[in-house]
Amino acid sequence: MSNTFLKYNPKKNSAFVYQMFESLAAKYDLMNNLITFGLHKYIKQHAIKKISVTSGSKILDICTGTGDIAFLLAENSPAETSITAVDFSPKMLDIARQKANKYSNINFLQADALNLPFTDNSFDVSIISFGLRNLNDINQALQEFKRITKKDGYIVNIDIGKPSGFLAPFIRLYFTYIVPLVGKCLGNNDFYYYLPLSAASFPSQEKLLLIYKELDFKEVKNYNYLSGIIAQQIIKV
């Protein structure tokens, strides 16, 4: 059994998460493609198209990882859009920067999502994709994202959801047993034990909607993909 069960504590996990992404960085894109059969790319494309970005907008990609969302934003936004992409893992950022040659409007920065180095009301849209689940405190994170996002701007969250329908038990089995096996074969035990654990402890789409309501966001739309395996919320600040 992986040591992950001993080291991972969803209430206090940032050092563990940092180490995990630092050691996973070189294989992150390959593993993501393998375990999702490449589907994550299509879902990210659909999700980005749901966000309306006007000319001159300032967008923040939080927990950018290897930059997928920042690149999609650059491809789907007017040329004058400025995109800032942050992550706390230098190795994930190195890979993102290596892939970013053709994009002149993305600025990559090392920063902690819970303590962002930006003044209040800096961005029109703040987006986090497969990141919120990894943060120590969801409420604190959302308050921080609200602080740096302009009034009437949007926060967008994309993450693993709780699937519904007859496929749901099979999907749970896949994440709990098959995904860790793939990770083990590729020499990355920790991440693929962590993935189902972090997904299980992450609130469902319905619970997230309640959290947004408690934090006084104006309006929230939820979109489910693949029967809710992945969910996106677009939240008006």
Among positions 43, 51, 68, 157, the unique one binding ligand SAM when judged by CB under 6 A: 68
- Residues ≥6 apart with Cβ < 8 Å to 116: 60, 62, 86, 144, 145, 147, 148
Q: Per CB under 6 A, which of residues 1..20 are in contact with ligand SAM?
A: 14, 17
Closest residue to ligand SAM, Cβ-based? 65
Nearer to ligand SAM, 165 or 187 (CB): 187
Phi, psi (rounded to 5 degrees) for 232: -125, 135
* 112 is an interface residue for ligand SAM by CB under 6 A: yes
Under the binding rule (CB under 6 A), the answer on residue 135 touching ligand SAM is: yes
Span interacting with ligand SAM, options 49-57, 111-119, 182-190, 206-214, rule CB under 6 A? 111-119
Tell how far CA 65 is from the center of its chain. Answer: 8
In the list 87, 124, 144, 190, the residue contacting ligand SAM (rule: CB under 6 A) is: 87
The answer to whether the Cα torsion of 44, 46, 51, 52 is positive or negative is positive
Q: What CA–CA distance (Å, rounded) separates 237 from 61?
A: 16
Six-digit token pair at 226? 């693949």
Taking the CA of residue 45 as centre, how many other CA atoms within 13 Å lie in the half-sphere pointing to its CB?
A: 6
Task: Give the range of 65-73, 161-169, 180-188, 205-213 binding ligand SAM by CB under 6 A.
Answer: 65-73
Residue 134 binding ligand SAM, by CB under 6 A:
yes
| Contact with ligand SAM (CB under 6 A) among 126, 131, 163, 175 | 131
